[in-house]
Amino acid sequence: LDFYIQADILDGNNKWKCEACGKHVSARKRACVQHLPNTLILHLTRFEFDYNTFQEMKVNDRFEFKTSLNMKPYTKEGLAEAEGQPLDPEWIRPDDYYEYELVGVLIHSGSAHSGHYYSYIRERVSADGSSEPRWYEFNDREVSPFSVDDLPFQAFGGNYDAYRSEKQFSAYMLFYERKNTYEAGKYSPKPLHEGSVALDVSGKGKDPVVESGILDTIWREETLQFKQRLFMTPPTFNLMWGFVDALPEFEPVMDYMGREVEDLEFNGDQTTQTAIFAATLVFDVFSHCVDNLSISKKFSSLRKLFGDHIPLCGWLLDKCAKVDDNNWMKSVFLFSQETDFHAAAAEVFSLCITKLAPYEQPFYLDDEEFISSSSSAGPSMHLRPKSIIIRFINSLTTLLTASADKPAEKIHYMLTILLNFAKINVFERRVLMRRNAVSELISLADNQQRLNSMSSGGFANMMSVLMELLAVLVVGCDNPAHTAHYGQPGVPDQSYLQLPLESQVKLFDRSFLMSSIRSLGAHPHLMKIFCHWGWGQKEFSETIVSSICSVMNGTSNTYEQAPYIEMLYYFNGIKDGVYHERIDHTMSTLLKFVKNNLSLDKFREAFLDILLGIAHHHPPAREWLVYNPKFHNLVSLRPEVRFYLETAHAQLFEEIMKERKESGVDEEEGKGEGE
């Protein structure tokens, strides 16, 4: 508040232009409070953008606040009084006009991208009317007593103590109420309990007059909420779900061609009507419930109903493909907070796609005419994909694109559906490739890496699914280097899918590769990409090796380097036309990092270990160590390097030096230098 009223000096090139004289003059500019409300809400700056990391960050610094607050020093009249300026009589207000007491604190617990809100709230009037008003903690559906003496620890933020880490919970908003309530809007100096016409919430007025219509509105709203609470209860939901459980066994319905799925909602038999009722209950009601109401069991029933009824699969996908405000996919993936719900829904959607795909694959690329009545101008004819699956995928990818800045947990299971779709057949992968899916997925990964912490569990899980989907698509495309080798061991069959040049550039961008390599859960999928596109491709292979080595150079210990070393060993084991070039580049890159870390024992020795380790596994790498002059120059000029190799890798190093001596390389180099 002191900073809020601090003045800025307008001078030099920043002088203020006086409207009276028309000249630029030196002046002092500041803000202050003109009128004060009955309820004062203070918003604390707990989130800010870090321009060094280009990420949002949580500000956990300690901020102390009092339970009582006098706002007069921050008002126009308060400043005038403090500086001895004359006061306009209209500015004069009673002292209690400025006196506030704390009645509520909103707490945020978590980081800048995820967390939880809860509140500490004080009674306005004590329950027994005599004692001090009590404080309570409101945390979701839990309400418990709270001691105001605990506010410093629970709300001020800062460190736990002088030696421990920052608290992740702190006050985000403060709610103060004026001790003596004044009429809102008119800022009258007369308190409400002395005869104002507005509603008295202080409890001091004898016969407050309520504005016309307020009580009627309150009555209608409270009555509606009471009915909703009475009806929207677990017993009521269980009663309704009992109709689903009572559905008798039915013969699987696999006849799909020619069946109009949109008519099932109105002309279906008992089985279809019950299944549609169950889906409506789950997606329209349960998705908005805090309690998941044993949702896994209910989704198990849905999987049984839809898995044995192909037309119902089409109906559900068609229902979700329609873009409107009540879209079920939005309810599931954006509005529902239950991760179990997201996972179960994704499983049902994936099941429906898998069941329906064999019937719809011939129509994936076809369009059809349909009549739309959504326009204000009346019904009109439009084109849409003939395949319900394609309409569903279009709707899903649109939602995914719009959710690119949402938390990773929100988009995890949308990607899971696309992954299951891509795994069905080459036809499905062709659909996604036509939508430039590889490039879009890389952009999504880049965006999510900026928004999330690499150590976040939700982000790690999302990245694992995203990289698996990326691998399925990328490995499903033909590597041009395979063209002359189809039919040979280790070379996949031709798929006739092409990876666009734009996607290749983004996929092998060093920044994207390094950030993906740091995501340990993505390694199995990355290795599939590396082995498929590194095969026979010298440039791609060198980029992959350099990226892995750069990530290793940024790790602090051997334990952290282990996954990256394993990637390097495996990748260098590919026996193809650029096998020796790949080994040569790997060894040269590792030697470069040894030289760059000569003054850091731990890093220097770590890269020497990898250098000798690859030589132990791959004969060309061993040969490289025998004949490479830069390696032997380093050994001869740096005693610490030689000493480490003679102690940590004694046998292999001795064999390498012996082979070099027997080859006569040193003598030839010596002759060349003499001449």
CATH number at residue 123: 3.90.70.10
Helical segments of 175-233, H only: 214-231
Q: Containing domain of residue 340, as a range?
A: 239-402
Tell me, yes or no, whether 285 and 378 share the same domain.
Answer: yes
The pTM score is 0.66
pLDDT score of 376: 53
Tell me, yes or no, whether 256 and 182 share the same domain.
Answer: no
Q: Which one-letter DSSP state was computed for residue 133?
A: P
Contact 491, 466 (CB under 8 A): no
Q: Which of 463, 443, 424, 420 is nearest to 503 (CA)?
A: 443
pLDDT score of 396: 92
How far from the centroid of its chain's Cα atoms is residue 83's Cα?
51
Tell me, yes or no, whether 111 and 252 share the same domain.
Answer: no
Question: Cα–Cα distance between 275 and 619 in angstroms, integer?
Answer: 63
Q: Report the 3 state secondary structure along 411-450.
A: HHHHHHHHHHHHCCCHHHHHHHHHCCHHHHHHHHHHHHHH
Domain assignment of residue 490, yes or no: no
Q: Final residue of a domain: which of 387, 402, 417?
A: 402
Question: Cα–Cα distance between 444 and 441 in angstroms, integer?
Answer: 5
Beta bridge partners of 447: none
Domain assignment of residue 221, yes or no: no
Tell me, yes or no, whether 545 and 608 share the same domain.
Answer: yes
Q: Which of 488, 446, 438, 484 is nearest to 463 (CA)?
A: 446
Q: Which one-letter DSSP state was computed for residue 134?
A: P
What value, to the nearest 5°, has the Cα angle with vertex 130 and ends 124 and 133? 30
Contact 510, 480 (CB under 8 A): no
Q: Which of 162, 161, 200 is nearest to 180 (CA)?
A: 200
Question: Cα–Cα distance between 277 and 266 in angstroms, integer?
Answer: 12
Tell me, yes or no, whether 265 and 366 share the same domain.
Answer: yes
Q: Final residue of a domain: which of 384, 402, 420?
A: 402
Beta bridge partners of 286: none
Tell me, yes or no, whether 275 and 133 share the same domain.
Answer: no
Tell me, yes or no, whether 37 and 184 share the same domain.
Answer: yes
Q: Which of 433, 417, 537, 535 is nearest to 476 (CA)?
A: 433
Residue type, 344: A
Tell me, yes or no, whether 304 and 392 share the same domain.
Answer: yes
Domain assignment of residue 152, yes or no: yes
Domain assignment of residue 508, yes or no: no
For the chain, the distance separating the N- and C-terminal CA atoms, rounded to the nearest angstrom, is 82
How many domains does the chain contain in total?
A: 3
Q: Which residue has the tokens 């051997």?
A: 558
481: tokens are: 């280097």
Angle subtended by helix axes 523-534 and 457-475, to nearest 10: 20
Tell me, yes or no, whether 273 and 142 share the same domain.
Answer: no
pLDDT score of 295: 75
How far from the centroid of its chain's Cα atoms is residue 11's Cα?
46
Domain assignment of residue 21, yes or no: no
Domain assignment of residue 618, yes or no: yes
Q: Pairing state of beta strands 367-372 and 24-25? A: unpaired
How many Å is the maximal CA-CA distance in the chain?
Answer: 115
Q: How many residues does the chain have?
A: 675
411: tokens are: 């988009």
pLDDT score of 140: 86
pLDDT < 70 positions in the chain: 53-54, 127-130, 161-164, 183-213, 257-260, 262, 266, 289-293, 323-326, 371-380, 452-457, 556, 666-675
Tell me, yes or no, whether 183 and 256 share the same domain.
Answer: no
Domain assignment of residue 476, yes or no: no
Dump pLDDT digits (tens) for 524-583: 999 999 999 999 999 999 999 999 999 988 886 777 888 999 999 999 999 999 999 999
385: tokens are: 């994909």
pLDDT score of 195: 38
| Contacts of 217 by beta carbon, 8 Å cutoff, 6+ apart | none
Domain assignment of residue 234, yes or no: no
Contact 146, 136 (CB under 8 A): yes
Question: Cα–Cα distance between 531 and 549 in angstroms, integer?
Answer: 17
pLDDT score of 466: 94
Tell me, yes or no, whether 40 and 130 share the same domain.
Answer: yes
Tell me, yes or no, whether 159 and 249 share the same domain.
Answer: no
pLDDT score of 520: 83
Q: Final residue of a domain: which of 382, 402, 422?
A: 402
Contact 42, 176 (CB under 8 A): yes
